[in-house]
Structure 1
Amino acid sequence: MTASQTALQDAAHLFTELVGGEPEGVWSSAGRANLIGEHTDYNEGFVLPFAIQYRTYAAARLRRDGVLRVASTFAPGAVELPVPALADAFGGSAGAAVAAGTVPEWAAYPLGVAWAALAAAGRAGTDVPGVDIAIASDVPVGAGLSSSAAIEGSVAAALNDLWRLDLAPLDLAKAGRRAENEAVGAPTGIMDQVSSIMGRADAATFLDCRSLETRSVDLGLEREGLVLLAIDTKVEHAHASGGYRDRRAACERGAAALGVPSLRDVGAADLDRARDLLDEVTFRRVRHIVTENQRVLDTVGALGASGPRAIGELLVASHASMRDDFEISVPELDTAVEAALGAGAIGARMTGGGFGGSAIALVEASAADAVADAAARAFADRGYTAPHVFAVVPSEGARRDS
């Protein structure tokens, strides 16, 4: 039995324990890894993530009253709110319900999705029945693989069907982002939700974060005999923490000083002017975003023209920019990247919001074990906790499983 099959069964079993009966269905959504394009999403730039094979499952069934009840395998007890009360819980300042202790942080993700999805569908919440939802996941938590977006996507898919909201996949992604931004209070962009919900097998999702236009970009990894390895450093991060907020604030300061709506409107030719206008730290933050946007476009072009073997240098340059200009790497991530490249990886970079989490390495399938061994040795030599190294397979997004 695969890990995902186990997680699906765990969700169904938890539902039975919670309700005393079988769910009407089980829905799931994927974790994600980002091939390239880090912190560009909230700057209205370009990103190239992909859904992975690890998933979060939501077993659900309508109930006769108007109560929404959620439970998960990763927190004790259930949390419930009347559906009409969701607007009161989450309609105030961002993260207020979590900060006040009214809603546990984990529960703010599924409950916030319900609130945001109803709003997107123009429904008040008084005209839909209650729902019981039980959640289980095999997406590694804290590894930078968007376990939160997988929760949001699975619950959004379930409620879209059960409540007959008729929301398109992009609308579900927007609801997930709103839940994370306003219900949870984490100032993330929309990349994670789009990738988790709209992913396709053996493809990445190119997303223009300004227009929200998407298209699938074939990766061709299996054809080329390549795999993508995730190297989980075991250094946990949290998007709601100060480092992420500081980087976003720096980007906003840079855009304001340069007189543009967002850093999407700043190009390489503007960097000399930016250097003169901005303090040294803010300039480096801006330079990362500007150069990372171009690397995403170059990666899409290289994949189409030459295939995945042509993108290695772009991945390495992306990591250097995150390490030196955006300063979101940590020694364990740098060690993972250096070890992978030293063992023959075509390219490697940290992935996710930073300050911990995972690196990814593009490697020959025949060299995957050697790269994993090299990472383990390098971590042991430096006295770090042993990393978890595993393949991440570009996979399908949100779906109904049963």
Structure 2
Amino acid sequence: MRVVEAFRAAYGASPQTVWHAPGRVNLIGEHTDYNDGFVLPFAVPWGVTAAVTPRTDKTIRLLSLQGHSDPVTIENHDDSTGWTRYVVGVLAMLGDRVAGADIAIDGTIPPGAGLSSSAALEVSVASALNDLHDLGMTPMEIALLSQKAENGFVGVPSGILDQAASALCQEGHALFLDCRSLGSRNIPLDLASHGMSILIIDTQVHHTHAGGEYAKRRAECESAARKLGVPALRDVTDLAAALELLQGDERKRTQHIVTENHRVEALIGLLRAGAVTEIGALLNASHLSLRDEYEVSSPELDVAVEAAVKGGARGARMTGGGFGGSAIALVSDDRLESVQQSVVAAYAERGFQPPRFLPATPAPGAHRVA
């Protein structure tokens, strides 16, 4: 294992433990997380592997196989910069329960695809430290600690979806997560036995205004919930009556959130019935809602979805925050090539940058590898 070899070369000894945590893609349930709603991510085959040995002092030495050849030494948490803050943040949140550590990191998540490499980094390190120090944290507690590191130390206001998926997912399953109660259960998503894959279509487009638009959508949802007298939009039980009380963008945002939660539950019903090949229509409906009601799609995402379906996909939708990033398509293995060709041709016709394709089946969550 090359991360172990790099650890030995850098620190002169073998690591005491090695943990892997995956990235994730969200099958359905978009923008529902900050509305106390439901999400259904699954872990992808790519992730971050952390080789770790504890230290008795407070020094943290970090080596990334994707970075410089020499370790970075951090004596004070506040001295960390860039990617190291995600690792140092985990140790900072653990406080007096741990001292320093020697750490080597190896990542396989394709950069820029929106598959949550930061959560995988946090969860891999937190899992290794939990193991080394016998801290007794559950996978959800590891996810929450990792989220706290990202929110409170790095300063990124992420929800719990990414870290929970990285820590809790099981191979061949999607993770149903209630973002209010944090209750979760793994739902069988046996794509391989049905000859299917989820094709991730990375548009390689990342719009800079997405951050402000994300905040705007969140504010619109919170305002709509106040007008409707509910704690969050997941509590709307009579959609038709709610829509009569709202206007403009708030009306449209509410329409998406309520129907998207229903789509999550409907998709779980199909998976429980073994009807994996039938979930495509819900993916299509989710994309149309995100495009027309939530207005977070982009020309590149729309073309990817339309061309994928035209090329033979069972269904497709944008995934993630929107305005760029990736789409996903449910594709039978014998149609993967034709779907990719259809998207490439549609992009070339419009002069878009060529997309990147990543076929994925649900992978295991965080686990010890050495």
Q: TM-score when scaled to structure 2?
A: 0.93
Secondary structure at the counterpart of residue 175 of structure 2: strand
Secondary structure at the counterpart of residue 21 of structure 1: coil
Aligned equivalent of 2:39, options 39, 43, 47: 47
Does 2:90 align with 1:113? yes
Contact 2:204–2:356 (CA under 8 A) maintained in structure 1: yes
Query: AA paired with 2:353?
Result: T
Aligned equivalent of 2:342, options 366, 369, 374: 374
Contact 2:228–2:245 (CA under 8 A) maintained in structure 1: no
| Greater Cα offset, 330-339 or 254-263 | 254-263
Unaligned 5+ runs, structure 1: 1-7, 90-101, 119-123
Contact 2:204–2:353 (CA under 8 A) maintained in structure 1: yes
2:140 maps to what in 1?
Answer: 170
Query: AA paired with 2:37?
Result: G
Contact 2:91–2:98 (CA under 8 A) maintained in structure 1: no
| Greater Cα offset, 180-189 or 40-49 | 180-189
Secondary structure at the counterpart of residue 220 of structure 1: coil
Secondary structure at the counterpart of residue 279 of structure 2: helix
Aligned equivalent of 1:153, options 120, 123, 129: 123
Contact 2:210–2:322 (CA under 8 A) maintained in structure 1: no
Aligned equivalent of 2:303, options 319, 335, 342: 335
2:80 maps to what in 1?
Answer: 103
Contact 1:31–1:52 (CA under 8 A) maintained in structure 2: yes
Once the two structures are superposed, what CA deviation does each residue of 1:155-190 show, in whole Å capped at 9, x if it has no partner? 111111122211000100111221222222222211
Contact 1:220–1:307 (CA under 8 A) maintained in structure 2: no
Residues 379 and 133 (structure 1), Cα distance of their counterparts in 2 relative to 1, 3 Å cut: same
Q: TM-score when scaled to structure 1?
A: 0.86
Once the two structures are superposed, what CA deviation does each residue of 1:116-164 show, in whole Å capped at 9, x if it has no partner? 3x2xxxxx42x53310112121112221211111111111111111222
Unaligned 5+ runs, structure 2: none
| Greater Cα offset, 49-58 or 68-77 | 68-77
Superposition RMSD on alpha carbons, in Å? 2.1
Deviation at 1:24, TM superposition (A): 2.0
Does 2:108 align with 1:138? yes
1:281 maps to what in 2?
Answer: 249
2:59 maps to what in 1?
Answer: 67
Matches within 5 A, 1:2-401: 9=2, 11-76=3-68, 78-82=71-75, 86=77, 89=78, 102-116=79-93, 118=94, 124-125=95-96, 128-236=98-206, 241-267=211-237, 269-277=238-246, 279-401=247-369
Contact 1:219–1:307 (CA under 8 A) maintained in structure 2: no
Query: AA paired with 1:29?
Result: A
Residues 115 and 259 (structure 1), Cα distance of their counterparts in 2 relative to 1, 3 Å cut: farther
Residues 237 and 285 (structure 1), Cα distance of their counterparts in 2 relative to 1, 3 Å cut: same
Residues 246 and 141 (structure 1), Cα distance of their counterparts in 2 relative to 1, 3 Å cut: farther
Query: AA paired with 1:218?
Result: P
Identical amino acids, percent of aligned pairs: 47
Contact 1:271–1:287 (CA under 8 A) maintained in structure 2: no
Once the two structures are superposed, what CA deviation does each residue of 1:301-333 show, in whole Å capped at 9, x if it has no partner? 111125111211100010111111222211111
Contact 2:239–2:258 (CA under 8 A) maintained in structure 1: no
Contact 1:144–1:356 (CA under 8 A) maintained in structure 2: no
Contact 2:17–2:132 (CA under 8 A) maintained in structure 1: no
Q: Aligned partners of 1:319 and 1:78: how far apart in 2?
A: 44
Once the two structures are superposed, what CA deviation does each residue of 1:25-49 show, in whole Å capped at 9, x if it has no partner? 2211011111100111121111111
Deviation at 1:361, TM superposition (A): 0.6
Q: Aligned partners of 2:5 and 2:218: how far apart in 1?
A: 40
1:121 maps to what in 2?
Answer: none
Q: Aligned partners of 1:304 and 1:128: how far apart in 2?
A: 42
Q: Aligned partners of 2:224 and 2:151: how far apart in 1?
A: 22
Q: Aligned partners of 1:344 and 1:240: how far apart in 2?
A: 30
Q: Aligned partners of 2:347 and 2:359: how far apart in 1?
A: 19
Query: AA paired with 2:279?
Result: I
Q: Aligned partners of 1:46 and 1:239: how far apart in 2?
A: 26
Contact 2:308–2:339 (CA under 8 A) maintained in structure 1: yes
Contact 1:69–1:78 (CA under 8 A) maintained in structure 2: yes
Q: Aligned partners of 1:399 and 1:388: how far apart in 2?
A: 28
Q: Aligned partners of 1:237 and 1:26: how far apart in 2?
A: 36
Contact 2:191–2:361 (CA under 8 A) maintained in structure 1: no
Contact 1:26–1:57 (CA under 8 A) maintained in structure 2: yes
Secondary structure at the counterpart of residue 319 of structure 1: helix
Aligned residues: 369
